[in-house]
Amino acid sequence: MKINKADLQKALEKVKPGLANKEMIEQSTSFAFMGDRVVTYNDEISISHPVVGLNINGAVQAQALYSFLSKIKREEIEIEMEENQVRITSGKAKAGLVFEHEVKLPVEEIGEIGKWKKIPEGFLEALKFCHTCCSKDMSRPVLTCVYVDGKKVQASDSYQIVQYSLENKIPSKGFLIPASAVSALTKYAVKEISEGSGWYHFKTEEGTIFSTRVFNGQFPDIERFLEVEGAEINFPKTSISALDRAKVFAKGDSLAEDFPTVLVEIKDEQIKFSAQDKSGWFEETVKTTYKGEPVRFQTGIDFLGEVLTQTTDCVFGQNRIKFTGQNWIHIISTSDIKE
């Protein structure tokens, strides 16, 4: 059968984030073809995408197939199925890849996908905004997730809280989605949601289906921590460029290097940003009009940078800092700061 290489390559790119780094589950490092769709599964998420002109069943090692296609320049390739291999021909170039005719991925765990419902505007922005405030400590698994319920999207790592408000409700009951899954999901322009059993499903206009496990647990009531009264602190515009320089020396905690942090100390009408990693350290001080008692807190450097692009003012009181935007609130504890 002849197939457009770009269409196949695009489909593979869409499902690549669902591949496992190591094959702990059989075929989890493979592209599985199920009729007219290609599927990946790594036990936490599963992604599928339609492939135009292809209707086969089986699995092939992902790295070999993807790498070979990236070396082909012709727009059209020919695919032939043989007993234990799939033969790909492009002009004078030919390749045979080991092909398993039985799909062994446990996709039945995902279950049937129910009725699709429209996702409200701002949902992906809310997930992206909140997920970096999740905990990385698996001893409290609920806090490693973003909680979605009604018009609220929330996250906390026990010393900071973020709440993002949507204009319209999410058309499903409340659910907890792991932050690691959120990081991948927000790269897809999903438009619809379907509620499953232990899994939730999201679909794009192109037909990509992103399925993720959801956690079964009770997210803590954070409402009582959102009211903060106290002195106002202003961060000057130069804070953003200071944070950008701090990133060079910022590090994540031992459990997640993907979330670098910055230490913020405010006193004597100055704000000091500090960061340190194995390569060295960084400090920079900017001026502020705040003259109150000293303030000290630690937070994600990328998250704080994003916050300061939307508001440069916060309130300090009751041992916590409160930033407020148009549709979000971010609370940071100023006690029990990790060095």
- Reported as a pLDDT band with limits 50, 70 and 90, residue 172 is very high
Q: Out of 19-28, 122-131, 181-190, 243-252, pick the least confident.
A: 243-252
Element (H, E) at 208: none
Cα(6)–Cα(76) distance, integer angstroms: 8
- Percentage of the residues of the chain whose pLDDT score is greater than 70: 97
* CA Rg value for the chain: 24
How confident is residue 83, by pLDDT bands cut at 50, 70 and 90? confident
For residues 319 and 334, the answer to whether their CB atoms sit within 8 Å is yes
Instruction: Give the domains, in start order, of the chain with CATH numbers.
Output: 2-110 (3.10.150.10), 117-224 (3.10.150.10), 227-333 (3.10.150.10)
| Mean of all residue pLDDT scores within the chain | 92
Question: Beta-strand (E) ranges in 170-220?
Answer: 175-178, 190-195, 199-204, 209-213
Strands (DSSP E) found in 196-294: 199-204, 209-213, 231-234, 261-267, 270-277, 280-287
Q: Is 106 exposed, middle or buried (0-12, 13-18, 19+ CB in 10 A)?
A: middle
Summarised one tens digit per residue, pLDDT across range 90-107 is 998 999 999 999 999 999
Angle between helices 5-15 and 62-71 (to 10 degrees): 140
Which amino acid is it at 190?
Answer: V
- Taking the C-alpha atoms of residue 201 and residue 190, their distance in angstroms, rounded to an integer, is 10
Give the model's pLDDT for residue 335.
72
CA 241 to CA 232: how far, in whole Å? Answer: 22
Which pLDDT score, from 0 to 100, does residue 53 have? Answer: 85
Statement: the pTM of the whole predicted model exceeds 0.85: yes
Q: What is the pLDDT of residues 231-264, one digit of tens each?
A: 999 999 999 999 999 999 987 544 345 578 899 9
CA 128 to chain CA centroid, Å, is 7
Residue 88 has pLDDT above 60, yes or no: yes
**pLDDT band (50, 70, 90) for residue 123:** very high
Mean pLDDT of 155-178: 95
Alpha-helical segments (H) within 34-185: 62-71, 123-130, 179-185
- Work out the percent of the chain whose per-residue pLDDT is above 90: 83
Q: Can you tell me whether residue 168 is helix, strand or coil?
A: coil
pLDDT in tens, 304-320: 999 999 999 999 998 99
